Amino acid sequence: MDHYYSAKPTSESNRETWSTKVNGKDFTYTTDAGVFSKNAIDQGSETLMVTGAEQTYPEGNILDLGCGYGPVGIYLGQTFPDRTIEMVDVNERALELSKLNAEQNGVENVEIYQSNIYESVENKQFAAILSNPPIRAGKKVVHEILEKAHDHLVEGGQLLIVIQKKQGAPSAKKKMEVVFGNVERINLDKGYWILASTKQFSPESTNN
């Protein structure tokens, strides 16, 4: 069966272009069959992008993990023009759309490439990782995103996740607490939790 987390969607292409406002800013997106939330920006993604844009991060690139057709990464690219936003997804069709949408919205400080979770960013660390995880892919995939984020953050870097209470937010919160030793719900909107964990400084770096 074809899912938005399939690498090569088999559903027939049927592109549509539409415009929307996020936080008073205008955006135009082209979407297609076989990508997540093709008719409008998902409420969870919108809550994540607006909340993520309000945070303070250490120096470094930001990773939009599971970028879909690009709304979160493009919004962050506009908000943080001096940073590079790396946008990854397993879905080839979604990545094509992300590149098109970055261009349509005049956002150039993005790098968009294919990655199955952290596969293509193995040796990289980021100032922040933001993700609206693919709940339908199952708990194992969601928890892999949470567990491996720690290794891919610089010290002081943040993981921000959006997840609905009924789709496992309390369980994700517990997992982030175990992995990072800290977690905070920094926003709540229409049942969507924004959970944030910070990679703590190691004793070695604070003693120098």
Q: What DSSP assignment string belongs to 4-44?
A: TT-SS--SPP--EEEEEEETTEEEEEEE-TTSTT-SS--HH
Report residue 83 as tokens.
């940073």
For the chain, the residue count is 208
Instruction: Specify the pTM.
Output: 0.91
Convert the pLDDT of each residue in 147-198 to its tens digit: 999 999 999 999 999 999 988 899 999 999 999 999 999 999 999 999 999 9
Q: What DSSP assignment string belongs to 73-119?
A: HHHHHHH-TTSPEEEEES-HHHHHHHHHHHHHTT--SEEEEE-STTG
- d(Cα 90, Cα 88) in Å, to the nearest integer? 7
3 state DSSP class of 206 = helix
Report residue 9 as tokens.
């969607």
pLDDT at 122: 87
Nearest in space to 102 (alpha carbons), one of 34, 25, 174, 30: 30
What is the domain partition of the chain in residue ranges?
17-207
Return the CATH fold of 17-207.
Rossmann fold (3.40.50)
Q: What is the pLDDT along the chain (208 residues), one digit of tens a residue?
A: 345 455 565 567 788 899 999 999 999 999 887 777 777 788 999 999 999 999 999 999 999 999 999 999 999 999 999 999 999 999 899 999 999 999 999 999 999 999 999 999 989 999 999 999 887 777 888 899 999 999 999 999 999 999 999 888 999 999 999 999 999 999 999 999 999 999 998 776 555 4
Q: Is 60 exposed, middle or buried (0-12, 13-18, 19+ CB in 10 A)?
A: middle
23 φ/ψ angles, rounded to the nearest 5 degrees = 55, 35
- d(Cα 168, Cα 165) in Å, to the nearest integer? 6
pLDDT at 112: 97
